[in-house]
């Protein structure tokens, strides 16, 4: 049966990093609601402006908009044989919607929790840099590019710092995560679908655990 891999974890836990490896190596589509909203917020429209406000405050985008977006994206052809969700679901309403979606399309769900304590998160997030062309994720402390502030694959492109990667917004994002999203871990645990991996090690060791968790299903 086709699978939906749900990557869970605090801001900066490494969901995007692992999702990109899974996409490349397992050939499943990577759906990041954060990336989709970042793309949408660039538009000079009332919606773009609203998203800029919400995301810079560290709050969540409303469920109705988020759910509609995921419903539409996962209905596309490349998701027929399963996909990776990075940053979704984040609320009970989103998790309920995903259950209905998975059931209606005959997909089985496995939730993988990338566990990283909060004291490590700060360096992960403040050190993050992203290539605006290919989306490659770097870290000035843990995974620096070969040349400072420049993508290895796109040497003509300066790396970006995310607008929400500042100390104040990170604090708010962590609080939102604790309140809205962490309770979903209990839900997936109770229903026997949660796998925990230690997210403090290097990316390849984490990937190996995720692969085992997903294939062991």
Catalytic residues: 15, 90, 128, 162, 173
Phi, psi of 68 (to 5 degrees): -60, -40
Nearest residue to 7 (alpha-carbon basis) of 85, 108, 93: 85
d(CA 156, CA 101): 42
Residue 31 makes CB contacts below 8 A (sequence gap 6+) with 70, 73, 74, 79, 83, 84, 85, 86, 88
Closest by CA position to 109, among listed 120, 124, 128, 95: 95
Applying the rule CB under 6 A, the residues between 86 and 105 that interact with ligand AP5 are: 87-88, 90, 94
Dist CA 20 CA 28 (whole Å): 10
The DSSP symbol for 179 reads I
Q: Which does residue 107 bind out of Mg ion, ligand AP5, none, counting CB within 5 to 8 angstroms by kind?
A: none
Q: Which does 128 bind (CB under 5 to 8 A by kind): ligand AP5, Mg ion, none?
A: ligand AP5
Residue 66 binding partner per list ligand AP5, Mg ion, none, with a CB distance cut-off of 5 to 8 Å that depends on partner kind = ligand AP5
Among 3, 11, 22, 209, binds ligand AP5 (CB under 6 A): 11
DSSP 180: I
Phi, psi of 115 (to 5 degrees): -90, 115
Size of the site for ligand AP5 (CB under 6 A): 34
Told to check if 199 binds Mg ion by CB under 5 A, we report no
Q: Which is nearer to ligand AP5, 95 or 110 (CB)?
A: 95
Footprint of ligand AP5 on 103-122 (CB under 6 A): none
Question: Which of the residues 15 through 34 are near Mg ion (CB under 5 A)?
Answer: 16
Both tokens of residue 128? 């993050």
* Residue 143 binds to ligand AP5 (criterion: CB under 6 A): yes
Residue number, nearest CB to ligand AP5: 34
User: Binding ligand AP5 by CB under 6 A: which of 5, 22, 31, 37?
Assistant: 37
Residues 6+ apart with CB under 8 A from 186: none
The site for Mg ion (CB under 5 A) is made up of 16
The site for ligand AP5 (CB under 6 A) is made up of 9, 11-17, 33-34, 37, 54-55, 58, 60-61, 66, 87-88, 90, 94, 124-125, 127-128, 137-139, 142-143, 173, 202-203, 206
């Amino acid at each position: 049966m086709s699978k939906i891999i749900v990557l869970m974890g605090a801001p900066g836990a490494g969901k995007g990093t692992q999702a990109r490896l899974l996409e490349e190596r397992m050939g499943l589509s990577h759906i990041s609601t954060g990336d989709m909203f970042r793309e949408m917020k660039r538009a000079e429209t009332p919606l773009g402006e609203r998203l800029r406000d919400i995301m810079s405050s560290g709050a969540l985008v409303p469920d109705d908009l988020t759910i509609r977006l995921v419903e539409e994206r996962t209905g596309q052809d490349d998701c027929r044989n399963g996909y990776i969700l990075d940053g979704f679901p984040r609320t009970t309403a989103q998790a309920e919607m995903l259950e209905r979606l998975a059931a209606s399309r005959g997909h089985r769900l496995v939730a993988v929790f990338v566990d990283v304590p909060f004291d490590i998160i700060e360096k992960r997030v403040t050190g993050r840099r992203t290539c605006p062309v290919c989306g490659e994720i770097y870290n000035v402390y843990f995974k620096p590019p070969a040349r400072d502030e420049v993508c290895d694959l796109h040497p003509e492109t300066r790396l970006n710092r995310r607008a929400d990667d500042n100390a104040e917004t990170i604090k708010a994002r962590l609080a939102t995560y604790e309140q809205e999203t962490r309770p979903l871990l209990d839900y997936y645990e109770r229903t026997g679908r949660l796998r925990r991996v230690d997210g403090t090690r290097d990316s390849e060791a984490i990937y190996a655990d995720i692969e085992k968790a997903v294939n062991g299903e």
